[in-house]
């Protein structure tokens, strides 16, 4: 697809002696939210880490816009405009909200408009600006991790299971925030929560056992419970 912002082509990744990704190929179209769905251990995190250069693709290619990033170092990949919010969120518990966010800026200086946007999306960040991150709730920590990713202009954000362990009300707030962020940034979202994925995703790629088993429109998958069950071997609506 010519409008892909990110393309994986026959990507194979090993972790130690284990062959984890077995020829993963899919495109992420520019704009909006694309979901990478799959069961526990399917290879979702490994895919994101391989894109970021945290694991190395042994074979295949990863292209971001017109750059072949397959062999680039992680900081160089980040400099092209890709941010990564890992499952463990990557925030510093002993630092304040402000310090966590300042570290995520390239210059140590905040752009006032972007900071205002973060505060509008996540008012808790302004409220707890001087609070240490370890004292935040689970949902607030996730909001901080996402705030760090968007405190500077990014082309694309890779987010690993942001709803894990969060209460429904927080998840609803996340959906609203992600819609707003996706207005000018492409999001590749790794999820197991199908309700969250369905509310946001335009396209969906399903991975199982290190292989892509489905790639298509979210609306089509959302309308086809049989396909959901077949692809994920569980009732997704029950999996919230």
Ligand X SMILES: Nc1ncnc2c1ncn2[C@@H]1O[C@H](COP(=O)(O)OP(=O)(O)OP(=O)(O)O)[C@@H](O)[C@H]1O
The whole-angstrom separation of Cα 90 and Cα 93 is: 9
The whole-angstrom separation of Cα 188 and Cα 94 is: 29
- Print the binding letters for residues 34-63 with ligand X: x by CB under 6 A, - otherwise: ----x-xxxxxxx-----------------
CB of 157 to ligand X, least distance (A): 17
Q: By CB under 6 A, how many residues form the interface with ligand X?
A: 12
Q: Give the nearer residue to ligand X in terms of CB position, either 88 or 130.
A: 88
Q: Give the nearer residue to ligand X in terms of CB position, either 44 or 148.
A: 44
User: Quick check: 142 binds ligand X (CB under 6 A)?
Assistant: no
CB of 94 to ligand X, least distance (A): 25
Q: Which residue in 134, 182, 138, 143 sits closest to 164, CA to CA?
A: 138
Cα–Cα separations (whole angstroms), residue 122 to 77, 129, 141: 27, 11, 11
**DSSP for 110-162?**
--HHHHHHHHHH-HHHHHTTTSBGGGS-HHHHHHHHHHHHHSS--SEEEEE-T
- Print the binding letters for residues 6-25 with ligand X: x by CB under 6 A, - otherwise: ---------xx-x-x-----
Q: Give the nearer residue to ligand X in terms of CB position, either 25 or 96.
A: 25
33-41, 71-79, 123-131, 211-219 -> range binding ligand X (CB under 6 A): 33-41
CB of 217 to ligand X, least distance (A): 22
**Which residues have CB under 8 Å from 161's CB, separation 6+?**
44, 87, 190, 191, 192, 193
Cβ(201)–Cβ(33) below 8 Å? yes
CB of 40 to ligand X, least distance (A): 4
Q: Which residue in 208, 210, 213 sits closest to 22, CA to CA?
A: 210
Q: Give the nearer residue to ligand X in terms of CB position, either 48 or 125.
A: 48
For residue 147, what are its two tokens?
């705030």
CB of 47 to ligand X, least distance (A): 7
User: In the range 80-99, which residues lie near ligand X by CB under 6 A?
Assistant: none
Q: Reduced to 3 states, what is the DSSP secondary structure of residue 164?
A: coil
What is the number of other CB atoms lying within 10 angstroms of the CB of residue 137?
A: 13
CB of 177 to ligand X, least distance (A): 22
Q: Give the nearer residue to ligand X in terms of CB position, either 45 or 142.
A: 45
Interface residues toward ligand X, by CB under 6 A: 15-16, 18, 20, 38, 40-46
């Amino acid at each position: 697809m010519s409008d892909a912002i990110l393309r994986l082509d026959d990507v194979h990744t090993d972790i130690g002696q284990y062959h984890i990704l077995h020829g993963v190929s899919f495109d992420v179209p520019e704009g909006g939210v694309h979901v990478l769905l799959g069961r526990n251990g399917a290879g979702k995190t490994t895919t994101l880490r391989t894109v970021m250069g945290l694991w190395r693709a042994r074979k295949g290619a990863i292209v971001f816009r017109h750059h072949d990033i397959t062999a680039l170092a992680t900081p160089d990949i980040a400099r092209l405009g890709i941010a990564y919010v890992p499952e463990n969120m990557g925030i510093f518990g002993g630092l304040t909200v402000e310090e966590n966010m300042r570290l995520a800026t390239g210059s140590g200086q905040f752009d006032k408009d972007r900071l205002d946007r973060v505060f509008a999306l996540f008012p808790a960040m302004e409220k707890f600006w001087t609070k240490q991150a370890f004292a935040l709730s689970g949902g607030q920590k996730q909001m901080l991790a996402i705030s760090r990713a968007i405190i500077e202009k990014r082309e694309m954000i890779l987010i690993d299971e942001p709803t894990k362990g969060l209460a429904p009300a927080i998840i609803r707030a996340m959906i609203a925030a992600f819609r707003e962020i996706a207005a000018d940034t492409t999001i590749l979202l790794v999820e197991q929560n199908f309700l969250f994925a369905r509310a946001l995703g335009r396209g969906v790629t399903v991975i199982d056992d290190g292989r892509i088993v489905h790639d298509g429109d979210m609306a089509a998958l959302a309308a086809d419970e049989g396909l959901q069950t077949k692809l994920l071997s569980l009732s997704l609506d029950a999996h919230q």
